[in-house]
Structure 1
Amino acid sequence: MNTLPYDEINIEDLEVFANHGVFPEETRLGQKFLISLTMYVDSRNAGKTDCLEKSVDYGEVCHFITEYTKTYPCKLIEAAAEKLAEALLIRYTILKGVTLELKKPWAPVGLPLKTVSVKISRFWHIAYLGLGSNLGDKKAYLDNAVKSLDETKGCHVEKVSSYYVTEPYGGVEQDDFLNACLMLKTLLTPEELLEKLHEIEQAAHRERIVRWGPRTLDLDILMYDDIVMETDDLIIPHAEMHLRSFVLNPLCEIAPNKRHPVLKKTVAQLVHSLN
């Protein structure tokens, strides 16, 4: 039984002749690959209306897979699968996620085998981010951060809150902040997203000198789906978000009913508790 909250459309063993491989004869001569794909969708509207535009055209998907696999050769089938999955999710916006298996029946291992394959599952995720600035042109820094995220491959900004003028936090004397929150649809992992946020901060000449000190741009991951994680570099959900009105107020504007995965309260309830 499918435990995912999505319906499935399946393509099994689509045969494609392409030039993936590590060895020169593989890239020069090419070989056969078999590709199986499960597309996770909400097919209810298509089923109720009998309208193709409300679903995904699996025939078109097969042609896209064939053309993409032939056009973008990779050394590793892991890389070929990763890039194809990403391309499918970006091209077909109705997809919630995919499970893709790339089989290599002619793998040059010098032993009898049926096939070698790699199988991956990739999904869109929803992250909520906090933004802040209290140096220079604050609005421009926030605007540019939103634009940079929306232009990042595998990312799409879904919602942005109003910009809030807030007093500085942490006891360091400095100018008022301009704060906001946004909702991001992304294919990036939490670690990849954090790296991207650091790149955007660096492009804004962010300097990490004084804790809670002034900064041109501050970007934080507040929540990422409903995951709870803690590493040396990243804690999700953000450890202090429930204590900060400059986070909760803009977040409540765009996601009042989003539930904190640890505290089990909605953002609106957290705002009420803080007040």
Structure 2
Amino acid sequence: MGKVQVENIKAYAYHGCLAEETRIGSDYLVNVTVEADLSKAALTDALKDTVDYVHINKIVKEEMAIPSKLLEHVAKRISDRIFVEIPMVLESSISVSKISPPINGDVEKVTISINSKRT
């Protein structure tokens, strides 16, 4: 087994429950960790035998572009697509952070995380 981590994917998106959030948008950071059997790739040195992190980045960018009220919903969509489009992934951990959330306080970010296993 092995892990592929794609860290701090930056996106500007329009998620939130407040009308202001969906109108003006905000900055987000997404972290993805997936687990898969990477032993074949270690031997073959072939991209087709591993988890392509370019593909993960593409999924994140596309899903972040679709507005949602909840970050949990966005993370679940990202996870679902990873399992559908990258069959060798066995587990995923997705975290989505909203930078400077509008919560009447000096808060750097809020983060949600979901962990999923292939069923």
Q: TM-score, normalised by structure 1?
A: 0.42
1:64 to partner: Cα distance: 2.1
d(CA) in 1 for partners of 2:56 and 2:106?
A: 32
Q: SS of the residue aligned with 1:117?
A: strand
Match of 1:118 in 2: 112
Do residues 94 (structure 1) and 88 (structure 2) align? yes
Do residues 20 (structure 1) and 11 (structure 2) align? no
Name the aligned partner's letter for residue 98 of structure 1.
Answer: S
1:106 to partner: Cα distance: 2.2
1:67 to partner: Cα distance: 1.6
1:60 to partner: Cα distance: 2.4
- State which structure, 1 or 2, has the greater radius of gyration over its C-alpha atoms: 1
Q: TM-score, normalised by structure 2?
A: 0.94
Q: Deviations over 1:59-97 (max 9, x none)?
A: 222122112210x21101111111211121111111111
Match of 1:29 in 2: 24
Q: Would you say the 8 A contact 2:14–2:67 is kept in 1? A: yes
Do residues 40 (structure 1) and 38 (structure 2) align? no
Q: How many residue pairs end up in the alignment?
A: 119
Name the aligned partner's letter for residue 25 of structure 1.
Answer: E
1:200-211, aligned counterparts within 5 Å? none
Q: Would you say the 8 A contact 2:63–2:74 is kept in 1? A: no
Q: Would you say the 8 A contact 2:63–2:77 is kept in 1? A: no
Do residues 107 (structure 1) and 101 (structure 2) align? yes
- Structure with more relative contact order (C-alpha pairs < 8 Å, separation 6 or more): 2
Q: Deviations over 1:232-266 (max 9, x none)?
A: xxxxxxxxxxxxxxxxxxxxxxxxxxxxxxxxxxx
Do residues 79 (structure 1) and 73 (structure 2) align? yes
| Runs of 4+ with >3 A deviation | none
Match of 1:50 in 2: 45
Q: SS of the residue aligned with 1:87?
A: helix
Q: SS of the residue aligned with 2:89?
A: coil
d(CA) in 2 for partners of 1:16 and 1:96?
A: 26
Q: Give the aligned CA root-mean-square deviation in angstroms.
A: 1.0
Q: SS of the residue aligned with 1:96?
A: strand
Q: SS of the residue aligned with 1:75?
A: coil
| Unaligned 5+ runs, structure 1 | 1-5, 126-275
1:251-262, aligned counterparts within 5 Å? none
Q: Would you say the 8 A contact 2:101–2:110 is kept in 1? A: yes
Q: Which has the higher strand share?
A: 2
Match of 1:8 among 3, 14, 27: 3
